[in-house]
Structures are given as structure tokens and as C-alpha cells.
Amino acid sequence: MSILQRLTLLAAAAALALPTAQARESDGEDRVRGPGATADFSTAPRVDVHKPVELIPLYLRHKRIHGLQPFQELVDKAPEGSVLKVPAGHYSGPVHVRKRLTIEGEGEVVIDGGDKGTVFVLETNEATLRNLTITGSGDSHDADDTCLNIRGHGNLVEKLNIADCLFGIDLKQADHNIVRNNKVRSKDAELGVRGDGIRLWYSNDNLIENNLVTDTRDMVAWYSHRNIYRGNEGRRSRYSIHFMFANHNIVENNRFHDNAVGIYFMYMEGGVARNNVISHATGATGMGLGFKESSDILLENNEIIYCAVGVGSDLSPFQPDTAIRFVNNRFAFNGVAIQLTSELGGNEMLGNIFEGNLTDMYQAGRGEGVKNKWNGNYFDTYQGFDRDGDGHGDTPHEEYAYADRIWMEIPSARFFKTSPVLELLDFLERLAPFSNPDLQARDENPLYIKPERRTEGNAS
């Protein structure tokens, strides 16, 4: 081994040992929290960790666009800071904007990427794109072929028609942008091989508002914090919104229909979902709201209707002494309204409505269903009375699993759920139990009369 190689190995070993040595020398708090606990990442410089922009030249793109005027020529001629009014017509991509511009289409302006690579890259700050149709990206997932790739801060993107694209609008390390009033549609392909409609990657403090996203794969936010999703509509996709390692995002006044999953919170801490309507998340994986090792989230005044599973939660809340709070939501006509697959507790169900569900509560695994807090909810299956007229039941509402345990514990038996045989077994179990039923939930103060729903936002 050469001297240079030995020095390299020694330097690497010293670097690996440094955090341990620092931890030994630090005070008690740093030993508990770990090195770097007090670092201020808000002042850290931007570091580009994604691959650089790569635009496939025009001559390699589909011949249908070879005779069109390149849109890049208009961009190159426009002075920085100017307003570029684009006459109606068809133009060819690719386009790479690296200066502050306002680009507005006058009439129908179509930028066609010729089915190869990415069509339009916005790599600047405080620019505006408005009234454009961007279409014809490539179909390579490895290259992230996209109609609109945003790699800057403080941009406004509105009233765009994004069609026939693998990925629709892709924000990479892009903060404080506004993406609103756009229509996004993927390529005509099988669900699993489509691209994401709107994707945020290491992008913070963006506003995603009043967009229509249809026939895509997912709308995702990965490692992206404090974003607002407001007033959007998503249809016929897989995940309406999929958060992963994305904290303190707000999802409000959206409508998600006919998607496999409504909103999924994965490895997330802090956030709010309110006044949303999620319906018809059906099929084997159908789920309105999903949680995976997430904590400290508020779900308020949402409508979760006609879903296979209204809420599917796994090891959530995950962090100690945190809660996931469900307040004033409506769970109606779902297969299973609430499905919890952990025994950690920490879920709070307050003032919700449960009506028309085949099963209101499913607590997977053994154990008493009293680790979660239930208070003041309305159940259309409540069998008690309200003799004192205070609007609350005189006795607690309790959810037990009788013969339901057959389909809960044996997946293959779920095919027979609600069949006459299982319904008969369940009736006999309740009439004369020959085994101890499992307590799934207990509400000490159930509502006796169904409350009126607020009409705020899109919930009704």
C-alpha cells in the first residue's frame, strides 16, 4: 500500500471518529441530543445534490417539431426582467430559462418537446410563466423526463396546461414558488409507469393551489417542509398526495376522487389536513388517509367517504408524547372507517361522525382498545339512550370484535366479509358469546344526535 493510500485511510478514520470524540467532550445535553444538535440549517448555503440539467437537442426529438420555431430563440432575445408576450402558435422545445422573465402566452401557445427528454426548465428566481401549453416530454424515469422542471425560488407558475408528460411539474430544491390554476395530465400509460403530476423534492415553503391533476401516478412531497396544498383537485391517480420525510405541510380545501390513496403521511412530523373531501379510494389498497410512523398531525373537518379503508395507520403516532388528532371529520360508507395496526396509542378521535360504514373500528393485533382517546363522537350504531336530553348518550359506546376477528386475523377470509355466513356467526356471538370479544374502542361520551356539518371550504 502506497503512502498516499495510507494517509487517505488515516484521514477517513479520523473523520469517522471525530463525532464520537466531540460527543465525549460536549456537555450532558449534547451527549443526549448528539453532535450538531444546535446547528442552524436555515443559514446553510444551497447545495445542489441532484444531477445537472440535461436537455436533449432538437434534432434528436420527434420530426413533427423540426419545422416549428424554437421557443428558446424568443427567450434568448428577451432582456432580463422584461415581459415576453408570446403570440399564439406552436413552438418547439427544449427551453431553458436562466434569467428573470415574465413569459405570457397570448392565445393558444403550445410548446412541444417532441417526445424526448424534458421540455421546459425554469432555472432562475422570481420569474413568471402564464398561459402556456407544455406537452410532449420523453418517457424515461431514469432521466426524470418532465414537462416543467423548476429549479429556482420565488417563481410564479399559473394557468399552464401540462399534457402528455411523464412528470408534470417537478420542483427540485425550489423554495417559495407559487404553482396555481394549472392542469396536469400524464401520459396514456398504466398507472404504475406514469410519472408524478406535481412533485416537490427538497423544496420548502411553496404554495400549490387550485390545480387539476388527473391520470397521473402521484402528487408527492419528499424532504419538503412547510408547503401549502390548497384547493386542488386530483382524480384517477395512485396517491393524491404522498408525503415522506416532509414536516409541517398544510393540506386544505382539496377534493380527491377515484384515487387509490387520498393523503399518505410517511415518516412525517407536524402537519394539518382540513376541509378536504376524499372519496372512492377503493380496491385492494384503497385508503382515504394513511399514516406510517408519523406524529403530531391534525385532521380536521374532512369528509372521508366511499373508501375501502377510511384511515389506515401503522405505528402512528411514532414519537413519544405526541398525538394524531381527528376532530370533526365525517367517515361515511367506508368498508373500515378506522384501521389501526399498532398498539402505541396516541390517536385522539374527537367529535367525528361515523355513519354507514361496514366496520367503524379495527384494532389489529391483540390487546385492549383503550390506548387511544375517543370522546364526543357520533356513531349511527350506538344502541343507548339520552334520557336527560343533553345530546349525549347515557352509556358509553363500545366497539367489540366478535366474529369480525375471523376476517381481521385471516386475510384470505376477508373475501367473505359481510357474507351471510359471517353475519350469522357474528349475530350468534353477540347473542351468546362463546369467546371473549376484543374491545376495539370506547367512547365515554358519544353524541346521541348527528351534528350538523360545517359548510366551510369543500367539506359539507
Query: Are the C-beta atoms of residues 393 and 417 closer than 8 Å to each other?
Result: no
3-state secondary structure of 10: helix
- How many Å apart are CA 256 and CA 303, to the nearest integer? 10
Contact, 187 vs 208, CB < 8 A? no
pLDDT at 55 (0 to 100): 84
Cα angle, residue 5 at apex, residues 4 and 7 outer, rounded to 5°: 65
Nearest partner of 317 among 285, 342, 352, judged by Cα: 342
Asked if 178 and 160 touch (Cβ cutoff 8 Å), the reply is no
Q: What is the pLDDT of residue 311?
A: 95
What whole-number distance in Å separates Cα of residue 243 and Cα of residue 264? 6
Q: Which residues of the chain have pLDDT under 50?
A: 3-35, 367, 457-460
HEC assignment per residue over 123-162: CCCCCEEECCEEECCCCCCCCCCEEEEECCCCCEEECCEE
- Residues 124, 129, 135, 137: what is their CA dihedral angle, to the nearest 10 degrees? 10
- Which amino acid, one-letter code, is at 260? A
Backbone angles phi, psi at 60, to 5 degrees: -90, -5
What pLDDT shows up at residue 60? 87
Write the CB contacts of 54 (distance below 8 Å, at least 6 apart in sequence): 117, 118, 143
Write out the three cell numbers for 200: 416537490
Strand order in the sheet with 218-222: 95-97, 120-122, 146-150, 167-172, 198-201, 218-222, 239-244, 261-266, 287-292, 309-314, 336-340, 359-363
pLDDT of residue 340: 87
Per domain, the residue ranges of the chain are 49-202, 238-402+437-460
Q: Which amino acid is at 235?
A: R
Report the mean per-residue pLDDT for the chain. 84
Cα angle 288-225-16, degrees, rounded to a multiple of 5: 115
Grid cell listed for 357: 360504514
Q: What is the pLDDT of residue 168?
A: 95
- Cell 414537462 -> residue: 147
Q: Which pLDDT score is estimated for 20?
A: 39
Q: Rounded to an integer, what distance in angstroms lies between the CA atom of residue 120 and that of residue 155?
A: 14
Give me the long-range contacts of 142-148 (CB less than 8 A, separation at least 24).
143/54, 143/117, 143/118, 144/118, 144/170, 145/116, 145/117, 145/118, 145/195, 146/118, 146/119, 146/170, 146/195, 147/113, 147/118, 147/119, 147/120, 148/119, 148/120, 148/122
Q: Residue 435, exposed/middle/buried by CB under 10 A (0-12, 13-18, 19+)?
A: exposed
What whole-number distance in Å separates Cα of residue 58 and Cα of residue 21? 55
